[in-house]
Structure 1
Amino acid sequence: MDSIDLEVLHACDQWLRAGWRCEYVTVVRTWGSSPRPEGATMAIRADGVVVGSVSGGCIEDDLIAAVRENGIVRTAPEVITYGISADEAHRFGLPCGGTIQLVVEPLGAHSRMDELLALAQRRVLTRRTLDLTTGAVELAQGQADEQLRMDGQALVTIHGPRLRMLIIGAGQLSQFLAQIAVGLEYQVTVCDPREEYRASWSLPGVEVVHAMPDDLVLEMKLDSRSAVIALTHDPKLDDLALMEALKTDAFYVGAIGSRANNARRRERLREFDLTEDQIAKLHGPIGLYIGSKTPYEIAVSILAELTAVKNGVALPAQMSVEHGKALAA
């Protein structure tokens, strides 16, 4: 499954190749509450077909109605703001006080959408600079810490690799975790050398690999948009993979297990060529303490913690599984 950003780029590229006129819409600024964040995108075709989203639906309806009534008439990018007045906010389904600003860009060969799509598919982090006067586009290597920005002359957006998740172990919990992660737009790979576990997998959009986990970690060349979750409970499979993953820039490396097993795992990792800082990156026992019992609940717990880490949210120690179980003991 493509991320929403890639789906929109795919649509733009396909429509342009087929000779359709179309526009690319980007959320560039929000005030107060808004349905979609800055950087959200949508493509709209000359017949009103859309891919992606910039609001809860009402703003899309307004853009579609304008295209169906007038066609695509813009010849240069335009900045549009919705929700300035209370009446307009109500009309477009924005919360009280919410305002959203969009850049609507008519596309053509000069937009370089085919090049941007190719770079995104190759996992190249790319900076796209749009001249707001002429519509000319420049593409350059992006930086991991860059954010969307706009001034009176240009809009700069960052398009990058999809989030990747490597799950070690093909058990029941892994299936639930992978299912939710796909919905969160991760490219999920499950690794398990044990045939008896792989044979029962049938989840669309998830690659199941027969390999030793540590070899696959090295092969994947994990980056700052990658996460690794070890779920086998088998040190022979988990430990070597964790050792290699902790040396990478992966934003999240975690392993399931009890508090006692987690302590023993850390001691085993100290026998390898890892620094204390690298070992400290390991999340375990993984997840947030929400009283989870079933595999689905545990998967939610794990992904909640992972999402907080990805978004740079510092969680209080009281929310950790280790702290919660210690209090409950």
Structure 2
Amino acid sequence: MQHLDLQVVEQAQDWLNAGETVWFCTVLSTFGSSPREPGSIMVARADGRHLGSLSGGCVEEDFLERLQAGEFSQRVCTERYGQRREDNRPQIQLPCGGILDVLIERLEPDESNRCHLAELLAVMRGREQKWRWVSLVDGSCSLTPVDSAGGARVEVAVDSVSVRMGPSLRLIIAGLSSVARACAEFAVSLGYEVIVCEPREEEYRDFHMNKDLENVRLEKILPSMFIARPGNCHQQTAVVAMTHDPRIDDLAMIEAVYTDAFYIGVMGSRLTSDKRAARLMTTGGLNPDQLARINMPIGLALGSKTPAEIALAVMADVLRVQRGIKRDEL
């Protein structure tokens, strides 16, 4: 989940608490090119005020125009954009040429809907993911546990849909380096909450002077200490270390394997990684199963050389695991 998702649900709750009916929209599936992925959400009021997005703008404009004209009065429905309608009614064509399926829920300001959104917010502010199940028959909804941290964001059945919800994606970067800075920039653009843990003053002295890092949170603390604190690593957290300093990288890995982080990785050549694995077992006390959780060398094998190329390979691998894709399936 991205930060924007949390803001959307908070806004929906605020409007319900103020006595407003809201329309909660979720992208269910995309075919071809699409600027927003399945699971993206938007909330709107009857007067057109809204937060979040479903596409690059064209879908939102059509939906809001029809909403203000009195459409979407039913409790739940789905709408397909980008494909000619059977009734020959004019249908917008997405500039990217794709097709978009959207779930539209009409939520009245009653106790049941307010409780559901309160529970959903608790999930998004917590540590674990849950499925948000919605009936396509009567619009009833509930939250149920998920089996794994990675995998499809949306599952569509004949008469229901399930959307994976949970805490915002978080990237914890153990220590600053040229690769770490590039990685932070990539992660911010991908919607991650990015936290850099750096105890060395000489490394973070000019941190806030870098405009590319203005949306990155700096913790002036040893990464292992931050990672070990309860609540800092949840199921939507990736932990990466790229300093080449064992005092930073090794300790971060030792703590990370005891957390719920869905991705753990450390930079280094194959030889360096083999030596680190031996240290982590003998000195760090890790067992083979814990060691297997650590991606080392980190990232996809793209032949990367420059800091930006290495950062790209790292974030591509994080995305792979987040999507539940095995390396041999690429």
**Does the alignment reach a TM-score above 0.5?**
yes
Q: Residues 127 and 158 of structure 1 are in contact (CA less than 8 Å); yes or no, is this contact kept in structure 2?
A: yes
Give the letter for the 1:310 counterpart.
Q
Change (3 A) 1:140 1:281: closer
Change (3 A) 1:287 1:89: farther
Tell me the distance in 1 between the aligned counterparts of 2:156 and 2:225: 43
1:308 counterpart (298, 315, 320): 320
Tell me the distance in 2 between the aligned counterparts of 1:292 and 1:125: 33
Specify every segment of 5 or more residues in structure 1 that has no aligned partner in the other structure, as ranges: 320-329
The sequence identity of aligned pairs, in percent, is 34
Cα deviations by residue, 1:53-112 (Å, 9 ceiling, x for unpaired): 223332222101112333x6614112223344388898321766x543322111223323
Could you say which residue in structure 1 is the equivalent of 2:192? 186
1:165 counterpart (161, 171, 191): 171
The 3-state SS of whatever aligns with 1:170 is: coil
Cα deviations by residue, 1:170-205 (Å, 9 ceiling, x for unpaired): 234322211221221222221122122233222334
Give the letter for the 2:107 counterpart.
L
Give the letter for the 1:82 counterpart.
Y
The 3-state SS of whatever aligns with 2:188 is: helix
Could you say which residue in structure 2 is the equivalent of 1:295? 307
Q: Residues 128 and 234 of structure 2 are in contact (CA less than 8 Å); yes or no, is this contact kept in structure 1?
A: no
Tell me the distance in 1 between the aligned counterparts of 2:16 and 2:30: 29
- Cα offset, 1:229, TM superposition: 0.9
Change (3 A) 1:162 1:143: farther
Give the letter for the 2:28 counterpart.
V
- Cα offset, 1:231, TM superposition: 1.9
2:118 counterpart (114, 119, 123): 114
The 3-state SS of whatever aligns with 1:91 is: coil
Q: Residues 128 and 235 of structure 2 are in contact (CA less than 8 Å); yes or no, is this contact kept in structure 1?
A: no
Change (3 A) 1:73 1:275: closer
**Which is further off, 72-81 or 55-64?**
72-81
Q: Residues 129 and 155 of structure 1 are in contact (CA less than 8 Å); yes or no, is this contact kept in structure 2?
A: yes
- Cα offset, 1:131, TM superposition: 4.0
- Cα offset, 1:24, TM superposition: 0.6
Alignment of 1:160-309 (within 5 A): 160-202=166-208, 203-220=213-230, 222-271=233-282, 272-309=284-321
Give the letter for the 1:76 counterpart.
R
- Provide TM-score, normalisation by structure 1: 0.81
Could you say which residue in structure 2 is the equivalent of 1:50? 50
Alignment of 1:145-156 (within 5 A): 148-151=154-157, 153-156=159-162
Alignment of 1:19-168 (within 5 A): 19-31=19-31, 34-70=34-70, 74-85=73-84, 91-93=92-94, 99-108=99-108, 109=110, 110-111=112-113, 112-144=116-148, 148-151=154-157, 153-168=159-174
Give the letter for the 1:226 counterpart.
T
Tell me the distance in 1 between the aligned counterparts of 2:127 and 2:294: 25
Higher relative contact order (CA 8 A, sep 6+): 2
Change (3 A) 1:189 1:35: closer
Tell me the distance in 1 between the aligned counterparts of 2:290 and 2:174: 19
Give the letter for the 1:11 counterpart.
Q
- Cα offset, 1:25, TM superposition: 1.0
The 3-state SS of whatever aligns with 1:39 is: coil
Change (3 A) 1:32 1:152: same
- Cα offset, 1:134, TM superposition: 4.2
Change (3 A) 1:11 1:211: same
Q: Residues 76 and 133 of structure 1 are in contact (CA less than 8 Å); yes or no, is this contact kept in structure 2?
A: no
Tell me the distance in 1 between the aligned counterparts of 2:321 and 2:173: 17
Q: Residues 2 and 169 of structure 2 are in contact (CA less than 8 Å); yes or no, is this contact kept in structure 1?
A: no
Cα deviations by residue, 1:215-245 (Å, 9 ceiling, x for unpaired): 2222145344221111221112221221222
Q: Residues 81 and 92 of structure 2 are in contact (CA less than 8 Å); yes or no, is this contact kept in structure 1?
A: no
The 3-state SS of whatever aligns with 1:270 is: helix
Cα deviations by residue, 1:14-50 (Å, 9 ceiling, x for unpaired): 3333444321112234456555433222212222233
Change (3 A) 1:240 1:39: same
Give the letter for the 1:114 counterpart.
A
Q: Residues 239 and 261 of structure 2 are in contact (CA less than 8 Å); yes or no, is this contact kept in structure 1?
A: yes
Give the letter for the 2:280 counterpart.
L
Give the letter for the 1:279 counterpart.
L
Q: Residues 59 and 92 of structure 1 are in contact (CA less than 8 Å); yes or no, is this contact kept in structure 2?
A: no
Tell me the distance in 2 between the aligned counterparts of 1:45 and 1:196: 50
